[in-house]
Amino acid sequence: MSLLKKCAENALRNCLAIQNDEDFLVIIDEDFEEIGNAFWETGQKIAKNSFLIKIPKTCGDGAEPPEKIAELIQKFPIVVILTTCSMSHTLAIKNALETGVRIATLPGIKRSTLEKTLNADYNKIACLTNLVAEKIENSTQITVTSKSGTDITFLLDEETKVFRDTGIIHKKGELCNLPAGEIFLAPKAGSAKGLIVVDGSMSPIGLLEKPIFITFESGYAVKIEGDFEADLLKKVLEPYGKEALNLAEIGLGTNYKATFTGNIIEDEKSQGTFHFALGNNIVVGGKNNVACHLNGIALKTNFVTDRLQITREGKIISDLN
């Protein structure tokens, strides 16, 4: 068995816990035929029935899939989505979760990333993810700083939920972004204030040559400054209006096998790495519904709640217990 299929089997058996009486659907676009076929063929050995459907590329992260695909997703108990752009933050996924579908999304994943991170021990990753989440829950404020200049504060309230992407999705209505290993949350609306120096990677650009400086006031990005990559980010955001500038999400990576590569889906899972997102946050407890969700990475940050410090220069503090 190839390493690719071993990783697919680990995902289907251990992460998704597919049973032999369940139907299984794989959704791909034109860039993911090889990986998609590996998941579909593996699913044939595990699930009652395994199906694969190829769809056109969506127009960007957070863009809704075709209506017929949104309807189809709700007809299966388990769905794996391998597409160039992320569907995680869409109404289609939100509605499917509410009907009880278990969903794993792998947007833009490279075969090298998959083979490195999907043969991890996800029970081990879940333990650290749950620990970090527990330390952040019931906090009222988070401050993130770095030597490169990041200095931003977010507020949390009783409605804030800390989500745990452990890679273990065995219950109805659970969503996982594989490779898994992160905590994430939507800060209190309108509370983000300060500066994020994006010196790692930024979707849809990828690895950055020069930092992008994003200033936030009252929860929205009011300045995006830097070199040509800052101009490119502004151009991507412009068609979606002000709501695309919303500070939608913040999070920390907890996957011991993920490393910083410039591929956002792996970068944000790298243990201790801070990420944020602009735009849509309806899947993570927010109310901002816009067809755009862009993630960015700030490196070597200090992540501090009003109760304790979680990371120091991008490393999870070892004595969190």
Mean pLDDT, the chain, whole residue set: 95
Domain with CATH 3.40.640.10 in the chain: 3-117
Residue-wise pLDDT for 229-285, tens only, equals 999 999 999 999 999 999 999 999 999 999 999 999 999 999 999 999 999 999 898
pLDDT for res 222 = 98
Please give the average per-residue pLDDT across 182-203, as a whole number: 97
Q: What is the pTM of this model?
A: 0.89
- What is the rounded CA–CA span in Å between residue 305 and residue 95? 32
Give CA–CA dist 40/285, Å, rounded: 32
Total residues belonging to the chain: 321
Stretch 311-318: mean pLDDT, rounded? 94
pLDDT value at residue 61: 83
pLDDT at 62: 87
**pLDDT tops 70 at residue 74:** yes
Which residues on neighbouring strands pair with residue 165, listed in sequence order?
Answer: 182
- Whether the predicted pLDDT of 104 surpasses 90: yes
- The helix (H) or strand (E) run that includes residue 9 is helix 3-10
| Contact (CB, 8 A) for 105 and 295 | no
Give the bridge partners for 126, in sequence order: none
Provide the β-strand partners of residue 252. 183, 274
Q: Is it true that domain 3-117 has CATH number 3.40.640.10? A: yes
Average pLDDT over residues 138-143: 96
Confidence at residue 165, expressed as pLDDT on a 0 to 100 scale:
94
Residues 6 or more apart from 27 whose CB is under 8 A from it? 52, 53, 55, 65, 69, 73, 79, 80, 81, 82, 83
pLDDT in tens, 146-191: 999 999 999 998 889 999 999 999 999 999 999 999 999 999 999 9
In this predicted structure, what is the pLDDT of residue 319? 78
pLDDT of residue 241: 96
Q: What is the pLDDT of residue 321?
A: 64
With bands split at pLDDT 50, 70 and 90, how would you rate the model's confidence at 318? confident
Beta strands in 109-242 (DSSP E): 141-146, 151-155, 163-165, 175-177, 182-185, 193-198, 201-202, 206-207, 212-217, 220-226
* Maximum CA extent, the chain: 54
Token look-up 């862009």 returns: 294
